[in-house]
Amino acid sequence: MLVAARRAKLEALRRELSMEPYGRRVDGLMTLADARAKFREEAHAAHEKDPSSDSRESAKVAGRVMQHRDLGKLVFLWLRDSSGDLQVSVSKSQVAPPVWELAKRLDYGDWVVAEGPVGRTQKGEVCIWARSVEIHAKSLSPPPEKFHGLHDPELRYRRRYVDMYANPETVRTFSLRSRIVSSVRRFMERSGFMEVETPMMQPVAGGAAARPFVTHHNALGIPLFLRVAPELYLKRLLVGGLPRVFEINRNFRNEGVDRSHNPEFTMMEAYEAFGDCWSMLELTESLVHELAREIAEAGASAGTSAGALGSAGAGANSGAGSKSTHLPFGELSIDYSRPFRRVRYGELFEQCFGFPMEDAAKVRAEAQRRHVPDAARKDHWLLVDHLFEEHAEKFVDKAKPTFITDYPAAISPLTRPNPASPHLAERWDLFIGGMEIGPAYTELNDPDVQLAKFTEQLAGIDDEAKTFRTVDEDFLEALRVGMPPAGGLGLGIDRLVMLLANQPSIRDVILFPLMRPQ
């Protein structure tokens, strides 16, 4: 019925005012922030003193009506665009009659173009004193509450387009995400990596143990999987001779949804020929540190998160000394200064349980004491991993980015073992704020070892997993052609944005998170 009222207005605009409520191209627009910046107190004062002369600068702007106050012969409109808010004041005595009629009838949510000199009101509010006002899109949908905005998370995700205009911090978060992705890209390019795009629809889903989404290609009559990782294709590129490659794109995993998991999510994977997990550690540490510094500095210099956006990209390469690299994340203040903490898997394990992870008898006893299912029969290293993830991971200081290194080789089947201690793998995992941000590996490049590990892995899976987990023969063939030794990295971009933008849920950093259809 609010919709009916708006439809009636729409028709009235056409019928009574001969105005078309859905407009066309408009040239010469400036942002509301730029229009506001055109205000000069001297020009305003001079015009107040002598209305016949006017040195105020004129501005033409477009925005969505956020407030509409009708005082009789004076109408105040608040417009919003992506740069901010600005008031447009419409005086009956200063505009043509149809413009005045329109101004009185505008609704919260309408898109409007206004033009006039930039001045201010008696109360000091900088505004455009309208000479003209045009409607360019009528909003037929009832708007959210103007003061509280849209709070209900379900509505915010389902109607993101409303969330975005009602809650400006939403737009700020996604602008920040865009900047972060852009910075990651520039950092990788500067470091000599080439960006590539590899298949998202794969005949064999490889590169991670996740359950894939299945689809079907009609013309070829074959099943296809949405990729769970780009890994096996990026490695083919190393075989082909590219020395450093990265890809920032979506992966799809057919698994649960929670605060840090969305079925489709963005990851950066990078591979460096003749590198190893330690060269990737250097790279990751300086990337994450630089991102955090950029954001901390932008925030500090602007004072507000809104300002941080305004100065986008500004302080990136300032090379400034020991500026604060703390960023808030919920209750935490995370310290991104270098170097990040490094702790060996085994050390953390021993610190937590009081005995080394190699002590098979104690591990089994501990597992039984803590009621790990199947503790009597399970493989030693699976028990270690279970205990570690349940208890030891919590020993990591959430406020300090931490690389956990030297994972047991037995739970890292596709990673090259450490030559000095073969029961350890050349692999690390970065944890920040209690979240796993990404792993890195020294990659296997011996095709025979790779095949053996694939086969071994496939032996242990259940029937359901067999439907989608098969050996990628073409990948093995590529390894036989010869892949240089390499370091590989996977970085969860959504989670990184959560941390840097201080958003507790992955749904707040994905524009359209998956929701059950209604």
- Sites of contact with RNA (CB under 7 A): 1-2, 5, 9, 67-74, 76, 87, 89, 91-93, 107-108, 121-125, 127, 142-155, 157, 207-211, 231, 253, 255-259, 261, 390, 411-414, 439, 457, 504-505, 507, 515-516, 518
Q: Select 37 or 316, whichever has its Cβ closest to RNA.
A: 37
Q: At its nearest, how many Å lie between RNA and the CB of residue 5?
A: 4
| Choice between 297 and 366, CB closer to RNA | 366
The answer to whether the beta carbons of residues 254 and 211 sit under 8 Å apart is: yes
**In terms of CB distance, is 147 or 419 closer to RNA?**
147
Strand partners, 487: 272, 442
Q: What's the closest the beta carbon of residue 497 comes to RNA, in angstroms?
A: 16
Q: Shortest gap between Cβ of 106 and RNA (angstroms)?
A: 9
Task: Report the nearest approach of RNA to the CB of residue 223 (Å).
Answer: 20
For the record, the structure tokens of 404 come out as 């956990």
Q: How far apart are CA 51 and CA 161, in angstroms?
A: 42
Coil, helix or strand at residue 413:
coil
Shortest spacing between CB 174 and RNA, in angstroms: 17
**How many CB atoms neighbour CB 205 within 10 A?**
26
Q: Listing from the earlier edge strand, what are the strands of the sheet with 201-202?
A: 201-202, 222-226, 214-217
The residue (of 73 and 217) whose beta carbon lies closer to RNA is: 73
Q: Which lies closer to RNA via its Cβ, residue 174 or residue 475?
A: 475
Strand partners, 65: 79
Whether the upstream peptide bond of residue 339 has omega within 30° of 0, thus cis, is yes
In which residue are the tokens 């959210």 written?
144
Does residue 486 contact residue 238 with C-beta atoms inside 8 Å? Answer: yes
Comparison of 67 and 324: residue with beta carbon closer to RNA: 67
CA distance 412 to 425: 7
The nearest distance, CB 279 to RNA, in angstroms, is: 19
Q: Between 144 and 401, name the residue whose CB sits nearer to RNA.
A: 144
Tell me the helices (H) and strands (E) count for the chain, helix number first: 17, 19
| The residue type at 162 | V
Contact call for residues 484 and 238 (beta carbons, < 8 A):
yes
Whole-number minimum distance, CB 355 to RNA, in Å? Answer: 22
Least distance (Å) between residue 337 CB and RNA: 27
| Residue closer to RNA (CB basis): 92 or 342 | 92
Nearest CB to RNA, comparing residues 33 and 314: 33
List the Cα angle 72/73/74 in 5-degree steps: 95
Rg, the chain, Cα only: 29
Query: What is the smallest separation between the CB atom of 80 and RNA, expressed in angstroms?
Result: 13
Could you give the count of Cα atoms lying within 13 Å of 446 in the half-sphere of its Cβ? 8
Angle, nearest 10°, between helix axes 473-482 and 447-459?
160
Distance CA(8)–CA(464), nearest Å, equals: 57
Say if CB 243 and CB 228 are below 8 A apart.
no
